Amino acid sequence: MRADAQANRDRILEAAEAVFSEAGETGSTDEIARRAGVGIGTVFRHFPTKQDLVEATVVRHFDELAAQARALSAGDPAAALRELIETMVGTAATKILLVGLLTDSSGRVPEAPVQASQRLRRAVGTLLRRAQQDGAIRSDVSVDEVYLLVRGLALATAQRPAKHATQRKALDIVLAGLAP
Amino acid sequence: MRADAQANRDRILEAAEAVFSEAGETGSTDEIARRAGVGIGTVFRHFPTKQDLVEATVVRHFDELAAQARALSAGDPAAALRELIETMVGTAATKILLVGLLTDSSGRVPEAPVQASQRLRRAVGTLLRRAQQDGAIRSDVSVDEVYLLVRGLALATAQRPAKHATQRKALDIVLAGLAP
DNA sequence: ACTTAACCGGAGTGGTCGGTCCGAATATAC
DNA sequence: GTATATTCGGACCGACCACTCCGGTTAAGT
């Protein structure tokens, strides 16, 4: 792969994340190409379908979160879990496009994002179990519930930005509900 | 207003709620007209713009929820609050289109849905204060946080249907966090 | 029953968006 | 420096969608 091609690929992915964050899946390919400073043809050579582009963006986003989760697995269990959740909620704008992803035409579910999502889920699960063994989280909750709650907060925040205090307090309430 | 016109208006709104619930704001006007059993022209006479149709659908949905909230204000405070939240989460599919509503072209915020949303917020606030006076909910939370959490659960569920047990448990966690 | 004003339906229009194609430009190898 | 394989760019195509327009239809008042 030529050096300029690789550079363009990166710039396209970055532009895609920005555009999708603002406009959801409605964000047009033209707009992405313009912001990345390349032609439309270039975008479609790297990602033959818009679905491919959306999926690649989501996968990248998830894998970055999973990497952060692994990096956090050294410090204090409860604090680590809280910090990861805060990041997920904070960068929520990107997740908004999952809405469209899961309901693409004809109900087909793309593989790559699902697997990336599962990797992230496993990383969250690891942090959660550690916090449970530490006694900071009650032992009868599973990753499913935590994931649902976090996804919910992330989506709600992405949809309509809330005051920082409100957002923080909502997170406190969830964590209080998770305490033994 | 002629009787058939009124009937058509109702059928259009019903079809719109169904279509938007499934496809989000992407749902086409043609599809709505087909399901309502009317021509496209009829849809656009009742709702000159697609925005108008979306707004009317949302307003209707919110006002139905607010009416239910008022109806619930007789029974047990904690149970009433829980039941309303369950309904809101359960009928979440409709709320998905708020994502598009708030970010319509040029950032204009339509009046009608905002006011309907505030009416619903007030109704929830009433139920909440009653539950707080009853001692079932801690007194340092406001409607803002509750609303954010409920909207989050609703959106997350609408986006990807969760197992009923998971959904129920997540709601339990939130309510546990809301307890004194 | 008859009139008429309101309503209905759907073919047609303009514009947008995803995706294609190929001549021009450029990086890399020798 | 030259050759060439790869990449770039944007005009172009077809599909879809919100919205218009007007001839035909029907409810409602007398």
Half-sphere exposure of A168 (CA within 13 A, CB side): 3
Give the three-class secondary structure for B38: coil
Residues whose C-beta lies under 7 Å from strand D: A 1-2, 4-5, 8, 37-42, 44-46; B 2-4, 26-30, 40-41, 44-45, 48-51
Q: Protein footprint on strand C: which nucleotides are under 7 Å from a CB?
A: 6-12, 16-22, 26-28
Nucleotides of D under 7 A from a protein CB: 6-12, 16-22, 26-28
The predicted structure's pLDDT at residue A98: 61
In terms of phi and psi (left: phi > 0; alpha: psi -120 to 50; beta: otherwise), the region of B106 is left
Helix, strand, coil percentages (3-state) for chain A, rounded to 5, are 80, 0, 20
pTM of the model: 0.83
Mutate to test the interface with B, among A96, A99, A132, A141 (most CBs of B within 10 A): A99
3-state helix, strand, coil in chain B (%, to 5): 80, 0, 20
Cβ atoms of B46 and B26 closer than 8 Å:
no
Higher pLDDT, A46 or A74: A46
**Which pLDDT value is given to residue B128?**
92
d(CA A150, CA A177): 13
Structure tokens at B84: 């309303």
What pLDDT is stored for residue B101 in this prediction?
60
Average pLDDT over residues B49-59: 91
Question: Which percentage of chain A shows pLDDT scores above 90?
Answer: 45
Q: Provide the mean pLDDT of chain B.
A: 87
